[in-house]
Amino acid sequence: MEVVNSFTLIPGTMANCYDVSYNGKRFLIDAGTKGSGKKIVEYYNALKTKPNIVLITHYHPDHIGGLSLVKETFNPVIYVPDGEIDVVKGQKKMTPASSLMSKFVATVMKSKPVKDVRPVSELKYDGIKVIKSNGHTPDSTSYLFTSLKALFVGDAAMKNGETVTVNRGFTLDYNKALSSIQTLSEEKEATVFPGHGKPFRFDGGNHEAIREE
């Protein structure tokens, strides 16, 4: 019998991808790199199941690279942040951050376009709260599964020692990203599941809040 209302970190993906069983549906949070797509497919095939819905937190290639293979294999409904849907569809290029590494990754790591996706604004599912957490990318989005008290943030927040912060080198607007962390920190009862690193709680550390003028 399938376990109801649970979540698992899918092994072997470059960026964290999560499988969430919730209220009778199977959700995949992010899709890793192109190479991660195979790992995701193998994971679901081993369980003899598939994701019904995919929730993308942002358009970076280590989070959408495996999306085309997931779509081709399982044909789930895919939701993408509204302001980044054109990039996922291949109609627009990703805007890199100012760092050389971000620009290099944007040039080298290409994601196969996925045309059949929906904007997050159309997501209407009881028990899931959509939280805009932009700054890391133009329309970074986080997802709170309310009864699980599980908050999936992509790269909008991560734990660095005792500080909750964001990867500055890959962040488009650092100040907006820090403001988004403050918004996310209001969910103090939730466990935060980031795109990189281990889960954490907002009530267990400091929040980096230095603004640039």
Task: Output the pLDDT for position 210.
Answer: 34
Q: Is 25 helix (H, G, I), strand (E, B) or coil?
A: strand
Q: Are 127 and 146 in contact (CB under 8 A)?
A: yes
* Fold that domain 6-207 belongs to in CATH: Metallo-beta-lactamase; Chain A (3.60.15)
Print pLDDT tens along the chain (213 aa). Answer: 234 468 899 999 989 999 999 989 999 999 999 999 999 999 999 999 999 999 999 999 999 999 999 999 999 999 999 999 999 999 999 888 888 888 877 777 878 999 999 999 999 999 999 999 999 999 999 999 999 999 999 999 999 888 899 999 999 999 999 999 999 999 999 999 999 999 999 975 544 433 332
SS3 breakdown of the chain: % helix, strand, coil, rounded to 5? 30, 25, 45
Structure tokens at 60: 């970076």
Structure tokens at 83: 């302001």
- Spans of all domains in the chain: 6-207
**CA distance to 74, 80, 118, 146, 184, per residue, from 122 (Å):** 21, 10, 7, 18, 21
Task: Output the pLDDT for position 5.
Answer: 62
Task: Output the pLDDT for position 31.
Answer: 98
Task: Output the pLDDT for position 71.
Answer: 98
Task: Output the pLDDT for position 168.
Answer: 92
